[in-house]
């Protein structure tokens, strides 16, 4: 009986963070869609712009990436992922850009 209870507790405590992450992912994807990010980006596939999983991989160990990428998303730019420029996103509140970039950088 004790083993069964321990096993159930283990499953319950490991499932909760996964569920929270899935809910967070859904909220971030909705925010990205409302901000029109998904017109050029996808989590796992390159569209016009790079896949966000590739962005996370490239900048994973870069301590200054968050600030630089927030600025790049807001102001636009080119050259980091090819020749197609990224349009500026000045109509998107900086708080939302910061949330999305932080989420992208945390992707596995």
77 φ, ψ to 5°?
Answer: 165, 180
Instruction: pLDDT band for 8, please (50, 70, 90 cuts).
Output: very low
β-partners of residue 86 are 77
Phi/psi-derived region of residue 42, left when phi > 0, alpha when psi is between -120 and 50, beta in every other case: beta
Q: Considering the entire predicted model, what is its pTM?
A: 0.78
| Structural domains of the chain in order of their starting residue, each with its CATH number | 23-106 (1.10.760.10)
% pLDDT > 70, the chain? 79
Average pLDDT over residues 21-27: 76
């Amino acid at each position: 009986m004790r083993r069964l209870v321990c096993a159930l507790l283990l499953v319950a405590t490991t499932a909760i963070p996964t569920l929270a992450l899935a809910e967070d992912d859904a909220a971030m994807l909705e925010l990205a869609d409302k901000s029109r990010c998904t017109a050029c980006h996808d989590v796992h596939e390159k569209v016009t712009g790079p896949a966000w999983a590739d962005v996370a991989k490239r900048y994973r160990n870069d301590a200054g990436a968050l600030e630089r990428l927030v600025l790049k998303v807001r102001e636009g730019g080119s050259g980091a992922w090819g020749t197609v420029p990224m349009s500026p996103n000045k109509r998107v509140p900086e708080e939302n850009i910061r949330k999305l970039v932080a989420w992208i950088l945390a992707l596995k």
